[in-house]
Amino acid sequence: MPGPGEFELIREYFSSRFQTEGQPRSGSQGSADQSVVLGIGDDCALLSPPAGKTLATSVDTLVADVHFPASADPYRIASRALRVNLSDLAAMNAEPLWFTLALTLPESNPDWLEPFARGLSETAQLFGITLVGGDTTKGPLSITIQVTGACDAPLRRDGAGVGDHIFVSNILGAGAAALPIVLGEIEGSAEQQQQVDAAYYFPEPQFAVARAIGDFASAALDISDGLLGDIAHIGEASGLGAELDLERLPIAPLAQSIKGEQALETALTGGDDYQLCFTVPEQHLRALGALQLPITAVGRMQAESGVRCRLYGEDWQPGGTGFRHF
Ligand SMILES: [Mg+2]
């Protein structure tokens, strides 16, 4: 059983890898990260927010064997944990600044910690976010990450209007389709394995799309629980409902190859997509279209509450309504 001394070591592990104050932030043309006055090692980090910006902050816990298999590659677990949190920043059109990590571990195992810390630091580098504090405790494996970003024009859920067009970014259903292979329930071909790895452990936070739609979108969120449930969140926050034309959904090839006839339902109700869902008023459609973004219009907001699904004009009833946490 690891004593407190070993957890001191873990802290050192992260401190040495993430000594960051005054270090260049990736994506900032090598300029020093002046926002971190004091990083890991004191009672608190001291942070200096960018002038004139609004801070966006979010926290998320990933529990072993609930949100990822405990036996998964630690490098990939770290990548997924940070990326799904970054996705929440992207959904608000916030640029990443800082994050903190609370790590609960069953044991102090360098063979696990080394790749985990490497995955975390490489992902942080990639997205220009700085680890500024953390805590380790002993217990069943779980990872809590709090991210903070800065925004000029936050994309909220509550701004959609009646008749606004509903868009999604990229493709849907890959994350949920990946799950049976991630869990080892089915094996999958080599090509599927590759797509599963990308979809599940390296989801791409949609910062570029969020930046591009910032001036046009009336509401946005990232799709973590499935499009059907998440568009309902925009509807509830905006006091509206939505209608979706399911034949338009950009279904992931992985969902088609793994789920077959269930691919549409997977794209609609499966979780773990981390794509953006956003609404755009009619008058901005032309300007948005000119940007040639990887986005697809899938429906309209309506005054009547609830979400109505149509497939080629016919009413369509889904079997589930997205991932339920409890
Ligand atoms: Mg979210």
For residue 16, report the distance from its CA to the centre of ligand 1, in Å: 31
Mean pLDDT (whole number) for 48-56: 94
Is 194 inside a domain boundary? yes
CATH number, domain of 272, equals 3.90.650.10
For residue 171, report the distance from its CA to the centre of ligand 1, in Å: 17
123 vs 322: which has the higher pLDDT: 123
Is 322 inside a domain boundary? no
pLDDT in the model for residue 34:
79
Q: Write out pLDDT tens, residues 70-85.
A: 999 999 999 999 999 9
For residue 224, report the distance from its CA to the centre of ligand 1, in Å: 6
Is 84 inside a domain boundary? yes
For residue 42, report the distance from its CA to the centre of ligand 1, in Å: 31
Is 260 inside a domain boundary? yes
Same domain, 169 and 311: yes
Q: Write the Ramachandran bin of 299: left for phi over 0, alpha for psi from -120 to 50, otherwise beta.
A: left
For residue 214, report the distance from its CA to the centre of ligand 1, in Å: 17
For residue 211, report the distance from its CA to the centre of ligand 1, in Å: 16
User: For residue 105, which phi and psi values (nearest 5 degrees)?
Assistant: -125, 140
Mean pLDDT for the chain? 90
248/246 Cα distance (integer angstroms):
5
CATH number, domain of 114, equals 3.30.1330.10
Same domain, 234 and 131: no
For residue 67, report the distance from its CA to the centre of ligand 1, in Å: 15
Same domain, 63 and 193: no
97 vs 110: which has the higher pLDDT: 97
Same domain, 139 and 195: no
For residue 96, report the distance from its CA to the centre of ligand 1, in Å: 15
For residue 302, report the distance from its CA to the centre of ligand 1, in Å: 22
Q: Write out pLDDT tens, residues 271-300.
A: 899 999 999 999 999 999 999 999 999 999
Is 321 inside a domain boundary? no
**Residue 30: is its pLDDT beyond 50?**
no
Confidence of residue 15 (pLDDT cuts 50, 70, 90): confident
Please provide the DSSP assignment of 179-228 as one string.
Answer: HHHHTTSS---HHHHHHHHHHHHS----HHHHHHHTTT-SEEEEESS-HH
**Residue 162: is its pLDDT beyond 70?**
yes
Same domain, 53 and 110: yes
**Residue 63: is its pLDDT beyond 50?**
yes
Is 139 inside a domain boundary? yes
Closest to 1 (Cα-Cα) out of 132, 111, 74, 105:
105
pLDDT in the model for residue 116:
95
User: For residue 202, which phi and psi values (nearest 5 degrees)?
Assistant: -130, 50
For residue 208, report the distance from its CA to the centre of ligand 1, in Å: 16
pLDDT in the model for residue 5:
60
72 vs 5: which has the higher pLDDT: 72
Domain boundary residue, one of 151, 179, 203: 151
Is 157 inside a domain boundary? no
Same domain, 171 and 298: yes
Same domain, 184 and 309: yes
For residue 87, report the distance from its CA to the centre of ligand 1, in Å: 7
Contacts of 33 (CB under 8 A, 6+ apart): 20, 21, 22, 23, 24, 25, 130
For residue 123, report the distance from its CA to the centre of ligand 1, in Å: 19
The alpha carbon dihedral of 71, 75, 76, 77 has a sign of positive
318 vs 270: which has the higher pLDDT: 270
**Residue 208: is its pLDDT beyond 90?**
yes
For residue 247, report the distance from its CA to the centre of ligand 1, in Å: 25
For residue 221, report the distance from its CA to the centre of ligand 1, in Å: 6
Lowest model confidence (mean pLDDT) among 24-33, 56-65, 110-119, 222-231: 24-33
Mean pLDDT (whole number) for 10-21: 68
Q: Write out pLDDT tens, residues 137-146.
A: 999 999 999 9
Domain that holds residue 231: 165-315
Confidence of residue 29 (pLDDT cuts 50, 70, 90): very low
23 vs 270: which has the higher pLDDT: 270
Are 136 and 103 a contacting pair, CB within 8 Å? yes
Same domain, 220 and 112: no
Same domain, 66 and 13: yes
Mean pLDDT (whole number) for 192-205: 95
For residue 2, report the distance from its CA to the centre of ligand 1, in Å: 35
Number of domains in the chain: 2
Mean pLDDT (whole number) for 95-124: 93
